[in-house]
Structure formats: structure tokens, C-alpha cells
Amino acid sequence: MPADPPLLTLQAISLTLGTTPLLDGAELNLGAQDRVALVGRNASGKSTLLRIAAGLVAPDRGRRFLQPGATLRYLPQDPDLSGHANVRSFIQAGLAPGDDLNRARWLLEQLGLSGDEAPSRLSGGEARRAALVQVLAADPDLLLLDEPTNHLDLPAIEWLQTILAKRRGGLILISHDRAFLTALSRAMVWLDRGITRRLDRGFDQFETWRDETLDQEARDQHKLDRKIAAEEDWVRYGVTARRKRNVRRMAELGKLREARRQATTPLGRTQLQAQAGALSGRQVIVADRIGVAFAGPPIIRDLDVIVLRGDRIAIVGPNGAGKTTLLKLLTGALSPDTGTVTLGTDLRMLTLDQRRDALDPDRTVAETLTGGSGDTVRVRGTPRHVVGYMKEFLFLPEQARTPTRVLSGGEKARLLLARVLAEDTNFLILDEPTNDLDLETLDLLQELLADYPGTVLFVSHDRAFIDRVATATIAFAGDGRWVLHAGGYSDIVARSVPSAAVPKSTAAPQARAPDKLPAKHPGAGKLGFKDQHLLSVLPGQIAAMRQEIEALNAGLMDATLYQRDPVAFTTLTERLAALGTKLAAAEDTWLDLEIRREALQS
């Protein structure tokens, strides 16, 4: 049977903003059963393309077609509730005759809203929840969501993920949340330099597909009609090479988690007091049965934590649980009602300001990094040319004179990271560091934190980011209790320990969505003989494949090969592409088995 025609079609969409082409022949098709992740770098035009798909922006050229009778709802990145007396009025304005009002009421209840809230008093998270109710209540044929997880806590993100997974209509998502995209997507549309590419596979295949595409493009660059500037080439391909999965780095993270696991055995009060009396440089924080209540129910009670030098510790929990309070307690910015917090010696602490208030809008990128003096920036005491340092954070050289006020949100976040990581510090405090970061910048941040020689304490709702960075996680367990676990978010799930109790207001009925984490990780269970054998042989196979890839790349360095022997050139490039796919699969298998082995040992 032929496939059903798409309900929404965008053909040859082009749009220029000012003098800069943003979209150049972009295409998009969305069918009744499609679940598409729309991916691309910050400022690549993803949100604009989604607004064109929603019929809110007219392109310069191209065609948009929506099948007659098909219903469509669009969630913008920044919902606007102005002009409405309350949340209920805003939601009703988005419903059509015949839409289910009972579903709207149920969604309001699940997301912790009454409907009587005034829009002017809503937090960012509450405004996002109200907008989600409006688009979900209509249960449309097509749902277009731009960063739906922004400002949501982990319980709300997991609830939304379950609701969307049960929908039958078409769905297209823009999100920086890897775990969210992986769980929901069946296809990807990659928007890059104004054009779109589609792959009918889930987001977990994106990095391999993107890197293979860019590698092939680099080899065939002489055939392209449109040349890529040398500096942009460096930004794209140099960073792409660094982003490829690194087994050695993940193995090192596994060792750090094991060390943390051994360091978190329950400590008696006497032992804690003895240690706290003379903190060495190795101990950064010792918290002894700390608690705080603010004249109400306990926010934190009887928490014992030891933070060691080099730890990268995540703090997770629902909004309002007390994550920021805990961060302040552990860093000495707030005194506990009960217990004691002792900080280590010679701490040089620095907090990343996610509000970006620290950026002077009239200063250029270079001036922000150098302090306005010359073209040299001191990176942890070592002088560096500012342009070279900028490139490490994905900035082009011509952006050195760009005022910070014209930067995108993601670019401002990168600039703050560049400035913070240049400081001579040994203790970083990051509150939601992944906000407004695209996937490439998230990769960069993960790499920078992995190489950071000091200690990192961070709050995040990004499950994949926590898994890739954290050596340990402090998770909210309800009723003011917080528990320190070795490893990241998936490690907590694997051990069947609730990472963040879902508030009653965000828990869907049992038939619709679970109100606790799964009892077992999908990979939990006894390792069989085959898996044990794979764990022992895969490292050698991976090393052999890497050696062959190096040899193939060396052969392709011959600039005359294509002219002399096009058959050999084609054979080498095809072998290289196939081997890259095989290597990525082997690394993923090894990583999954290693995580399962760790969980079983714990």
C-alpha cells in the first residue's frame, strides 16, 4: 500500500533576514504518525522554520500546504499570555468548538495549575505549563513544539514525555534535551546552513549520521557549488572530530564513579567530626547532618555529604524542592539551622551567572574576555591570543568585535563559559548551565567540565547531561530528604531509587503515566556469558578499528589519489564510512555493558 500523504508540507522554503539568508530551499514533511526531531545549531533557523510550518511567518519563497481539515497546534519557545485575565482564559482561547474541556481541566490539575493564576504573576515554568495545557488539550492532528522542556523540572519533563509518547498524531520537536529527543523521535530533520536533511531514524543515531555527513562533505568539498570559509570549516569540522564518542574518557568517568561509590559509605557522627576538624586539600566540603526549614516544613533534613577534590556532583529534584537552597548551604552562602558545613582550604570559588547579568552589552566579545586590554586573555594564568581562545568556544574570528548585545542566547552562554573557565579557580558552581545551549555547545561544555581540574557542583534537569558529566548525584527523595548516589541519573534509575519524587500535582493517573521511576533499568539483570565475552574482547576490537581508520585517513591524505585511481579512492572512502559506523556501534555496546556491569556491582 502506498504511504499516506503528509498532512503538512513545506517545499523550497527560503527566507532572508536583513542581508543574511537564513533558509535556502528548506523542506519539511509531517505525516499523521511522524515523530520528528528538528535539530541544528543555535541561530540556524529552527524556530523560524517551525513558525513558517505553523503558518505564523510567510517565507520569501516556497510553498506551505496543510491538508484541509487537519488540525495543528504550535507551542512557541516564549509563550505570550498577555491580554488574558487568567490562565483559564488563555487556555480557552486556544480551544476550538468541540474540544474536550474535561481534558483541559485534567491537564491543568496534573501540571499543578488551577486556572485562576494571573499571567503577570507566573514564573517561567508556570507559563510553560499553561502553554502546554493549551496545545495538548486540543489533541490536534499535528503538534509543533519549540523547546517544550524549558523551565520544567525533571518530574514534569518525564510526565510530558509519557503523555507525548502515547499520542497518535504527528509531532515535531525542537529541544536541547537529548534524553527527551531520544525517547520520542523516529526521524530527524537537520537544518544546516539554510538547507534541510532528513533521516528516518531516532535521535540516538544523530551524532553518527551528522559526523558521517560532514566527513563525506569534507572529502567532496571540491564538488560543492557553495564553498565553506576556512574559519567556519575549522569551527564545524574541528569540533565535530572532538565530539565523537571517546571510550577512554567514559572509562575514566566510570573509574571516578567507582571511587565516589566507595567514598560514600555511611559515616558515623564521630568520624565526620574528626574529619571536619582538619580538612585537607582533598576534601572540599564536609556537611554533617545539615538541615534547614525556614520556619516551615523541613526543606533539607539530616544530610551528610563529603565532596572530594575533582568531584562533579549534580543536584536534581523538582522545582521548589530546595535545590538552590542546598547549593547555597554547601557553598557557605547560607548557614544551616542544624548541623555544620565545613569548607576546605584554598578554595577559589566561581559561580556561573545564568541570568547573564555579568555581561556588559556594549562590550565586544574580545573585550569581554580580555577585560578591554589588548588582544591577550589569561587562561588560568597562561597568556593566550583572544581569537585562538574564542575559536575553542565555537566563535568565528570576525565575531571578536561583535557587541555582546547582538549575540544569541546560546552565544552569550558560550561567552560566559569562556570567561569563567579562563579564571584561575578550583571550584565551579553552575545553576542550570545547559539553558539555551545547542547540542554542539552541550558537547563542548561536557568536554570542558571533564577536563576541568577542580571540583564542580551543578544543578540541572538535563538527564543526558547529568549522565555524561556527574561522578555523583544528590537527589531529592521527598519530605526534606536528599540522598547522595554515585554516578548519574541513569545509575539512580538502575538502582530503583527515586531520583525526584513526583509531586501529586504533576503525577498523571496510573493508566496514563507512572508516578515513579521504573523498577529496573532496561539493561539491568545478570550479565550472561555472551555479554561478559563482549566486555573482554570489545576494547581490543575497538583499538584495532581505530588503527585501521588512522591508516585509511593516511591513505586519503594523498591529494592526487582521486585523479590517479578513482576506484581506489572510492574503495577507501566507503571502507572508512563503514568502519566509522561499526566503531560507533562497538563503542555504544561496550558503554552499555559497562554501565550494566557497574550497576550490578553496586
Please check whether residue 511 lies inside any domain of the structure: no
562 and 413 in a common domain: no
Distance CA 539, CA 163 (A): 39
259 and 321 in a common domain: yes
Strand partners, 9: 29, 65
Please check whether residue 149 lies inside any domain of the structure: yes
Of the candidates 578, 585, 437, 600, the one whose C-alpha atom is nearest the C-alpha of residue 523 is 600
Q: How many domains does the chain have?
A: 4
Q: What is the pLDDT of residue 562?
A: 65
Mean pLDDT value across the chain:
81
Q: What is the pLDDT of residue 422?
A: 87
Distance CA 305, CA 489 (A): 18
DSSP label at residue 166: H
Distance CA 419, CA 490 (A): 31
Last-in-domain residue among 236, 268, 296? 236
CB proximity list for 89: less than 8 A, separation 6 or greater: none
Digit-coded pLDDT (tens) for 266-298: 333 323 332 333 343 688 999 999 999 988 889
Q: What is the pLDDT of residue 541?
A: 85
254 and 195 in a common domain: no
Of the candidates 429, 406, 426, the one whose C-alpha atom is nearest the C-alpha of residue 347 is 426
Please check whether residue 360 lies inside any domain of the structure: yes
152 and 228 in a common domain: yes
Please check whether residue 54 lies inside any domain of the structure: yes
User: What pTM, to 2 d.p., does this model score?
Assistant: 0.68
457 and 341 in a common domain: yes
- Mean pLDDT, each 10-residue run in order, the chain (602 residues): 79 87 93 94 88 95 95 92 93 87 91 92 89 93 94 89 92 93 94 92 88 76 47 48 53 73 44 34 88 90 92 90 92 93 89 70 92 86 89 86 84 85 88 80 83 90 90 90 89 59 35 32 55 80 82 72 74 78 76 70 61
548 and 430 in a common domain: no
Q: Where are the alpha helices (DSSP H) in 331-434?
A: 365-370, 386-392, 409-422
Residue 553's CATH number: 1.10.287
252 and 160 in a common domain: no
275 and 159 in a common domain: no
Q: Are 441 and 394 in contact (CB under 8 A)?
A: yes
**Placement of cell 536533511 in the chain:** 197
Q: What is the pLDDT of residue 165?
A: 93
148 and 15 in a common domain: yes
Distance CA 193, CA 372 (A): 33
Please check whether residue 104 lies inside any domain of the structure: no
Residue 268's CATH number: 3.40.50.300
Q: What is the pLDDT of residue 551?
A: 82
Q: What is the pLDDT of residue 280?
A: 39
Range of the domain at 363: 351-422
Which one-letter amino acid corresponds to residue 398?
A: E
Please check whether residue 90 lies inside any domain of the structure: no
Last-in-domain residue among 209, 236, 263? 236
Please check whether residue 366 lies inside any domain of the structure: yes
Q: What is the pLDDT of residue 86?
A: 94
Last-in-domain residue among 175, 201, 236? 236
Helix, strand and coil in the chain, % to nearest 5: 45, 20, 35
DSSP label at residue 403: B
Digit-coded pLDDT (tens) for 87-142: 999 999 988 888 888 999 999 999 989 999 999 888 888 999 999 999 999 889 99
